[in-house]
Amino acid sequence: MSAAGRTGAGWWLLILPAFLLLVVFYVAPIAQVLTISVTEPELGLGNYERLFTSSAVQRVIETTLRICLITTVLALLLGYGIAYAITLARPRAQGWWILAVLVPLWISVLVRAFAWVTLLRRQGLVNNALLGAGVIDEPLPLVWNEFGIIVGMVHYMVPFAVLPMLASMREIDPRLLAAARGLGASRGEVFRRVFLPLSLPGVIAAGVLVFIFSLGFYITPAILGGGKTLMVAEWISLQILDLIRWGLGTMMATMLIAAILVTLLVFSRIVDLRRIFGAGA
Amino acid sequence: MQSFQQDCVDLAFQKFRRGQISRRGLLTALSALGVAPLAGGEARAQGNRQLVMVNWGGLANQGFGRFYGDPFMAANQGWTVVQDSTGPSAGRIRSMVESGRTTWDMCDSSASSSNLLGRQNLVTKIDYSIVKKEDTLPVGFALEYGAAPYSFSSVLCYDSAKFPEGGPTSWADFYDLRKFPGTRLLRRDALATLDAAQMALGKDPANLYPLDVRACLRKVSELRRNAVYWNSGSESEQFLRTGEAVMGQVWHTRATVLEAETNGRIKFIWPQALLQAGIFVIPRGNPGGEMAQRLLASMLANPEPQVGLLQLLGNGPTNPRAAALVPQDLRRKNPTDPENARVQVVLDGNWWGQNYQQVNADFIDTITG
C-alpha cells in the first residue's frame, strides 16, 4: 500500500468511532422504525394505505402542514424585518440587536410555552387587559387552539429565521445600494430591485430551516394545543405510548423523515445547504 | 397517559405541600422509595416467605404497605408483604408472564385490563372460595380475574359562579351548550367519557351497556369546538381552577380538592358519576401462589384500613362495613358512601375490557386532527 493510501486509512480510522456511534444509535433505530412500519400489525403496506384511506391521518398531516406553512411565512416576515434593521444598524447597536435575538434562544422551550399560556388564557394578561379596556366583552379564545400553537411556534422560530437571513444580508455589498441610488432609483426601488433579490438566498435558506424545524415540533403544540389540535410529532407519541399502535406511529415517523429529506433535496438545488447549517459563511 | 393511581400520588404530594398531611407520612414514603423494594430471592432463602405487591409509585408505596400489607402480615406470621412501585401496566404484566419469570404476586390494575389480561391467560382467576364476594360491592367489583379493595369515580365538576340560575345536574346538561355555554373539559380517554355521552343521549343509566359507540363518538364530537382535554389529574384541576373550562369530567379526588379550595364555588355532583373499581390482579405463575388470594381476601375484608386509605389518598373503600366508619366530614368525598353510590353508575369493566383498545383509538381520532 502506498504512503498516501495508508494516511487515507488512518483518517478513516479516526472517523470510525463517530461513524459507528451514528450507525448504532441513529441509523439502526431508524431502520428498526422503518421495519416496524411494514410489519405491525401484519406484514405489508397496510399502514401506508391509511395515508389515503384514514381521514384522521389525513387531518393530522393537513393540520401539521398548515401550521408549519403559516409559521414559516410569519417567522420569515418578522425575521426579515429584524435582519434588515440589524444590517442597517450601527456596529455597536448591531451587537445589542443580535443579543436580543439570541437571548430567547437560550430560554427553555417549555418555559416559553407556559409563558404563552399565562399570557393568552381566558384570565390571562392579554384577555384581562382587553376586557379592562372595554375592547371586548368576552375573553377571546387565544390558546388551546391553532392560534395559540402558531403564536408559540413563531416566537420560537424567529431567531432561526433571522440568523441565515442576516448572514446573507451582510454579504450584500453596500456600494451596490449606493450605486443604485446614484443612478436615480428611489429608496423603495433600491430595496425592491437590488436588496431584496440579493437577500433572497438567505430568505429561502431561512424558510427551509424553519419549515423543517416546525414539522417535528412537539412540546409547544402539546402544551398550547389543548389536547385536540394534534401535530404529527404528538400524534406519533400518542400512537406509540397510549394506543399501542406502533405500526401506525412508525409509519408516520417514516413519513416525517421522508418529508424532511424531500424538502432538503428540493431546496438543495436552489440554495447552498451548507450555509443553512452553519458550515462555510 | 397518567393513570388514576399515579395521580393519587401527585395529589398526596400537593397535600403535603399545603400542610394537609404530615411530613412524617411523606418521609416514610420517600424512604420507602429509596430502599430497594425487591429483596426477593434473599428473603426467601432465609425462610421468610414474602408476597410482592406492585403499585404505581410514591405514596401508594406507603399507603398500600400500611393499609393492605400490615394487616395481612399481622394475621399471617412468617409472611412479609413488600411493595414495588414499578407501575404494573398491562404491557409490563404481559412481558413478565410471557418471559416465564413472574416475580409479582399482586398488581394494582383496572377492570378493563384485568379482562384483557384474563382473556390472554396472563392473570389468575380469583378464587372466590378464599376471597369473599360479600366483602366488596355487588356489581363490577368482584370480577373473574380481579377484585377491588378501593374505588374511584369520574364526576361532573363545574364552576357555579358561571351558572347563577342553577348548575348542571346530569350529563345531558353537560352536553347542552345552549343551556350551559362555555368550554368543557374531558379526559383524553374514551373510558368513562363515552359512558357519560351515552347517558347524555338519553339511555337509561341502569341499562347503559353495551354502549352505542358510534352514537357516543358523534355526541363527543359535538363538543369538539368547545372542549379541552386533560391527560393528568393536576392538569384537569388547573383547567377548572383558572377558568379555562366551566365544566368538566374529572376524578373525584381532584374535584374534592377544588371544592374545598374554592369554598364550594367549584362544585361537583355524584349523580350519574362513573364509579370505577380499583381492581387488583394476580399474574399467572406468581411466586406466592395461593397466598396472593389470601392477601387479596384480607385487603377486601378489613374496612378500617380502607378508611385509612381514603383519608390518605382519597381512594374510596369497597367493604360494605367501611362506609359507616368514615368520619362525617369525609363522607361527601367518599365515592362508595351509600348516599353517593346510590346515584352513581358503575362502569362496566367487562364491556370495556373487550372494547377498550379499538374504541379508544376511534375516540382519539374523533377528538383530534
CATH number of the domain enclosing B284: 3.40.190.10
Interchain CB contact of A238 with B (< 8 Å): yes
- Residue B237 sits in the same domain as residue B362: yes
- Residue B93 sits in the same domain as residue B158: no
Asked if residue A176 has pLDDT above 90, the reply is: yes
- Residue B185 sits in the same domain as residue B282: no
**CA separation for the pair B56, B113 (Å, rounded):** 15
CA distance A51 to chain B (A): 14
pLDDT band at B23 (very low <50, low <70, confident <90, very high): low
The CATH code for residues A55-276 is 1.10.3720.10
Residue of A nearest to B357 (CA): A243
pLDDT, one tens digit per residue, over B323-340 is 999 999 999 999 999 999
**CA separation for the pair B216, B208 (Å, rounded):** 12
Q: Do B228 and A242 touch (CB under 8 A)?
A: no
Report which of residues B214 and B46 the model is more confident about: B214
- Residue B237 sits in the same domain as residue B363: yes
Mean pLDDT (chain A, rounded): 89
Interchain CB contact of A120 with B (< 8 Å): no
Residues B203-226, mean pLDDT to the nearest whole number = 94
Return the amino acid letter for A51. Answer: L
Among A54, A121, A226, beta carbon nearest to B242? A121
- Residue B21 sits in the same domain as residue B127: yes
Spell out the domain ranges in chain A.
Answer: 1-39, 55-276
Q: What's residue A162's pLDDT?
A: 95
Range of the domain at B80: 4-151+276-342
pLDDT band at B89 (very low <50, low <70, confident <90, very high): confident
pLDDT, one tens digit per residue, over B276-290 is 999 999 999 999 999
Q: What's residue B41's pLDDT?
A: 40
Q: Do A228 and B360 touch (CB under 8 A)?
A: no
pLDDT, one tens digit per residue, over A136-157 is 998 898 998 899 999 999 999 9
CA distance B323 to chain A (A): 35
| Contact list, A238 vs chain B (CB under 8 Å) | 364, 368
Q: Do A228 and B365 touch (CB under 8 A)?
A: no
CA B58 to chain centroid, in Å, comes to: 16
Question: Over pLDDT 90: what percentage of chain B?
Answer: 68
Q: pTM of the predicted model, to two decimals?
A: 0.78
Among A56, A226, A245, beta carbon nearest to B229? A226
Among B228, B242, B361, beta carbon nearest to A243? B361
**CA separation for the pair A248, A267 (Å, rounded):** 29
pLDDT band at A8 (very low <50, low <70, confident <90, very high): confident
- Residue B32 sits in the same domain as residue B104: yes
- Residue B9 sits in the same domain as residue B78: yes
- Residue B19 sits in the same domain as residue B49: yes
Interface of B with A in 187-226 (CB under 8 A): 188, 224
Determine which of A61-70, B56-65, B111-120 has the lowest per-residue pLDDT on average.
Answer: B56-65
Question: Over pLDDT 70: what percentage of chain B?
Answer: 91
pLDDT, one tens digit per residue, over B91-132 is 788 878 988 899 999 999 998 889 888 988 999 999 999 999
pLDDT band at A5 (very low <50, low <70, confident <90, very high): low
Q: What's residue B33's pLDDT?
A: 37
| Per-residue buried b or exposed e for A78-106, using 16+ beta carbons within 10 Å of the residue's own CB | bbbebbbebbeeeeeebeebbeebeeeee
Please give the tally of structural domains in chain B.
2
Mean pLDDT (chain B, rounded): 88
Beta carbons of A255 and A143 less than 8 angstroms apart: no
pLDDT band at B45 (very low <50, low <70, confident <90, very high): very low
Residues A49-78, mean pLDDT to the nearest whole number = 94
pLDDT band at B48 (very low <50, low <70, confident <90, very high): low
CA distance B364 to chain A (A): 9
Q: Do B224 and A228 touch (CB under 8 A)?
A: yes
Chain B interface test: which of A241, A243, A248 (most B C-beta within 10 Å): A243
Phi, psi of B30 (to 5 degrees): -65, -40
Ranges of beta strands (E only) in chain B are 49-54, 79-84, 106-108, 142-143, 146-159, 184-187, 227-230, 247-251, 266-281, 316-317, 345-346
- Residue B167 sits in the same domain as residue B144: no
Asked if residue B151 has pLDDT above 80, the reply is: yes
- Residue B100 sits in the same domain as residue B30: yes
Residues A208-218, mean pLDDT to the nearest whole number = 93
